[in-house]
Structure 1
Amino acid sequence: MKNLLTIAGSDSSGGAGIQADLKTFAALGVYGMSVITAVTAQNTQGVERVEEISREMVKAQIDAVFNDIPVDAVKIGMVSNPEIIQQIALSLKDWKAINIVVDPVMVSKSGYHLLKPEAIETLKKELLPLARVVTPNLPEVKAMLGWEVTDEERMESAAQEIFSLGLESVLIKGGHLEGAANDLLFDGKDLTWFKSPRLNKKNTHGTGCTLSAAIAAHLALGYDLMTAVEKSKSYLSGAIEHSFPLGHGVGPVHHFYRFFKEL
């Protein structure tokens, strides 16, 4: 059994964040552990309130896990402020963490800022270079680079600029463009497109968290990055295809669709 650690915020409605990551890990046959960076009060209609966990408690959670259990991969999601980002970076370097996947969660679907603006530079300088792959969507690309991606040609330019921050590789998710939901991987040598049709589904809460968690799981299982992305996108497409309505807003993807009858 491979052991994975997610470092992220808690979603009280269970569709994204820590909860989505742990569901993804379980669905893909790896053991999930968690370090909670923030507690959110949210549901399918949006985020209502956020309370951050102290830097000291974030460190204590990381130390408790690594001191006892081998960690085969780390997925990082919501990290909210510069102090928490700095501590995560220090701790992961101290523990020589491997297979780090960073999903730079910045703004919720409802528009709530989950990463403070003053933390963006800290994220770019201290945390992103530790990752094996970083998985921003297009609004997150804009927040990092200061300019908007409007087509696939600009996605390629953005991938190269983000890579120049000192990254090992970057996967830009193109779901916010019109048409197909194509993603782009750049490892410093090759620009590789992962083509997939857009699924006409409303309930997509937790898609970004799920994809990055799935990539981390597949890396821990020994797949190379290209194969890990392919398998993760396939898993996510199935989860979206079988997503279901919950509450009055955007419902969650179905992490366990492979084990359940279609709802």
Structure 2
Amino acid sequence: MLQPPPIVLSFAANDPSGGAGLQADVLTIASMGCHPLSIVTAITVQDTAGVDDVMPLDADWIVDQARAVLEDMPVHAFKIGLLGSVEIIAAIAEIISDYPHIPLVMDPVLTSGRGDELADEEMVDAMRELLLPQVTVLTPNSLEARHLAQQENDNHGTKLGLNLCAQRLLSMGCEYVLITGTHENTAHVTNTLFAADGVVRADDWERLEHTYHGSGCTLASAIAASLANGLSISDSVIEAQDYTWHTLQAGFRPGMGQYIPNRLFWTKENEDAANENAEVVIEKPND
């Protein structure tokens, strides 16, 4: 019998546009050679422009979905995306706590690309208290990092430095924090991986001209898949960044909003390479 691929379980919301959420996670995880398990946390009304509505599922449904597959299959990594409610956060935190040996990658989805609020302050507090202490790699963009790291005594209007944000998030219990620099005013996008003893690595990427729906989901899922494939934290982070950048470079605009990452970009590359290497048969002329 063939050895099954590594398995990654994702907790995320359904995205009917296919750009973000569970659809992005499933495509990414499968594209990186793993088998995806998908636990629906919420139903959304959204397109490539933004999120119009979110209907969180009952927390018991999340528990039943997750327990059913966890009791049936060995999971090699967890990935968390949009959650939907405090009750769902608490339920997932309890499930994850039963599997402390499985790495957990969390994309803290607080707003949509358009700026639609997807997590209120009560949910943010629950994330800090219940989930962050269990996270292996947290993958906030710079806006999310500042929001999660904000404290009551901070001066309003003061922009927190990303090093300070990382220190605060690590002090909440995260093992590693990867802060992405897409929203920073820099020539290149710099993504920095932090651990308790400081910067592990900082990677610069060419800044692409478009905005993308589902880039954060893609990156977090790619890290989870890389960890499931047995790579180290540092190698998983660089492998996932490389994969994500290429999905963005090959991105497409199917609707009237943002571009969508092409998680299967490599199929076109393989097809082009096969065409280039195809043997050309030349008929031998008659003597």
Q: What TM-score, normalized to structure 2?
A: 0.87
Structure-2 residue corresponding to 1:158: 165
Q: Note if contact 2:201-2:234 (Cα within 8 Å) is conserved in structure 1.
A: no
- Rounded Cα–Cα distance in structure 1 between residues aligned with 2:25 and 2:73: 18
Give, in angstroms, the shift of residue 52 of structure 1: 0.6
Output one character per residue of 1:42-93: Cα deviation in whole Å (capped at 9) or x when no partner: 1111111111110000000110110101100000001122110000010111
Q: Note if contact 1:171-1:183 (Cα within 8 Å) is conserved in structure 2.
A: yes
Moved over 4 A (4+): 147-151
1:69 to 1:240, Cα distance in 2 relative to 1, 3 A: same
Q: Note if contact 2:146-2:162 (Cα within 8 Å) is conserved in structure 1.
A: no
Structure-1 residue corresponding to 2:209: 201
Match for residue 82 of structure 1 among 70, 82, 86:
86
Within 5 Å, give how 1:210-229 maps onto structure 2: 210-229=218-237
Structure-1 residue corresponding to 2:181: 174
- Rounded Cα–Cα distance in structure 1 between residues aligned with 2:163 and 2:261: 28
Structure-1 residue corresponding to 2:239: 231
* Cα RMSD, aligned residues only: 1.8
Matched, 1:188 2:196: yes
Matched, 1:30 2:34: yes
Structure-2 residue corresponding to 1:47: 51
Q: How many residues align?
A: 261
- Rounded Cα–Cα distance in structure 1 between residues aligned with 2:100 and 2:147: 29
Matched, 1:135 2:142: no
The range that moved more, 22-31 or 154-163, is 154-163
- Rounded Cα–Cα distance in structure 2 between residues aligned with 1:167 and 1:225: 13
Identity %: 33
Structure-1 residue corresponding to 2:280: none
Output one character per residue of 1:202-230: Cα deviation in whole Å (capped at 9) or x when no partner: 14111000000000000011111000000
Give, in angstroms, the shift of residue 231 of structure 1: 0.4
- Rounded Cα–Cα distance in structure 2 between residues aligned with 1:159 and 1:100: 17
Q: Note if contact 1:150-1:177 (Cα within 8 Å) is conserved in structure 2.
A: no
- Rounded Cα–Cα distance in structure 2 between residues aligned with 1:113 and 1:130: 24
Give, in angstroms, the shift of residue 159 of structure 1: 0.8
Q: Note if contact 1:6-1:74 (Cα within 8 Å) is conserved in structure 2.
A: yes
Match for residue 255 of structure 1 among 255, 263, 274:
263
Gaps of 5+ in 1: none
Q: Note if contact 1:194-1:230 (Cα within 8 Å) is conserved in structure 2.
A: no
Match for residue 72 of structure 1 among 67, 72, 76:
76
- Rounded Cα–Cα distance in structure 1 between residues aligned with 2:235 and 2:98: 29
